[in-house]
Amino acid sequence: MGPVVPESFRPWYLPNVPSNPVILNFKQIIESIRERRNARRPTPALILLYTGIDIAGWLAAEDPSEGVAKRFTAWVDRYMLPAPGIECSALDLYGARCGLLHSMSPSSNLSDGDKVVLLCYAWGDSRATDLKALILTGGMANRVAVQGEALIEAFEAGLYKFFDEVQSDAQLQARVVERGERVFGELSSDSVRKLHEWGKRMLGEG
């Protein structure tokens, strides 16, 4: 009989990989995004979200050496968009990702070159529709209003769709499992001590 998996964990559960660190890390990323959102800390929530897309894009790509932009936009187009409340393209999201992660701003080389629009986020009681009206009134054609919560929901839904596909696509699952071997995992202090003792025995030092 396989390991018991909590119901809340099942959508991302890989049957053949009961303790895959990929699943555990994404679960922590989602929980941390929700915590930052609930604590009214939108910038850290967005940083985690865009980083999560980066990682998911790397896992999904047939060629992991593809450029980050190609991996990111391919994953967003396949698993996240279209989505309610998000009136921008995958490339617009990538530009927003670059601006935030590199300079904590909405601007990037892509937006400076007029290749993407700037994203303006509404959170909580603020509504993207109000921001959109302001953008239209101000004639700011290079800006798009996005509801932050809608972006989080689209990312979560994208992850569920992605991991559902991982379970049904043998080649994709093999890629995720192989790349998952490089992902950070967690060891308790007791596990570290036991591994150390085992290593010493194997080396004839114990």
Residue type, 189: S
Contacts (Cβ under 8 Å, ≥6 apart) of 151? 46, 49, 85, 86, 121
Map out the domains of the chain as residue ranges: 15-202
Q: Supply the pLDDT for residue 187.
A: 67
Tens place of pLDDT per residue across the chain (206 aa): 333 333 444 444 444 444 578 888 898 899 999 999 999 999 999 999 999 999 999 999 999 889 999 999 999 999 999 999 899 999 999 999 999 999 999 999 999 999 999 999 999 999 999 999 999 999 999 999 999 999 999 999 999 899 889 888 999 988 988 888 887 767 678 877 887 888 888 888 75
Give the predicted TM-score (pTM) of the model: 0.83
Give pLDDT tens digits for 90-142. Answer: 999 999 999 999 999 999 999 999 999 999 999 999 999 999 999 999 999 99
The rounded distance, in Å, linking the Cα atoms of 171 and 150 is: 31
